[in-house]
Amino acid sequence: MAENPAAQVAAEGAPPQPGVSLWNLDGAHSHAGFSIRHMMIANVRGEFTRLSGSVALDEKDLTRSRVEAAVEVASINTREADRDGHLKSGDFFDATKFPKIVFQSRNIARHASGRFILTGDLTIRNVTRPISFTIEEMTPQRKDPWGKLRFGVSARGQLNRKDFGLAWNAAIEGGGLLVGEQVNLTIEAEFVKREG
Q: Please provide the average confidence, as pLDDT, over all residues in the chain.
A: 86
Predicted confidence at residue 88, as pLDDT, reads 94
Burial 60-78 (b: 16+ CB within 10 A, else e): eeeebbbbbbbbbbebbbb
d(CA 144, CA 141): 10
Domains of the chain by residue range: 22-193
**pLDDT (tens digit, 9 = 90+) per residue, 90-117?**
988 999 999 999 999 999 999 888 889 9
Q: Which of 131, 76, 130 is nearest to 98 (CA)?
A: 76
Superfamily of domain 22-193: Lipid/polyisoprenoid-binding, YceI-like (2.40.128.110)
| 154 close to 187: Cβ distance less than 8 angstroms | yes
> E strand or H helix at 11, and its extent?
none
Residue-wise pLDDT tens digits, 26-74: 999 999 999 877 655 578 889 999 999 999 999 889 999 999 999 999 9
pTM given for the model: 0.85
Which of these, 103, 111, 158, 101, lies nearest to 133 by C-alpha position? 158
Categorize the per-residue pLDDT at 165 as very low, low, confident or very high, splitting at 50, 70 and 90.
Answer: confident
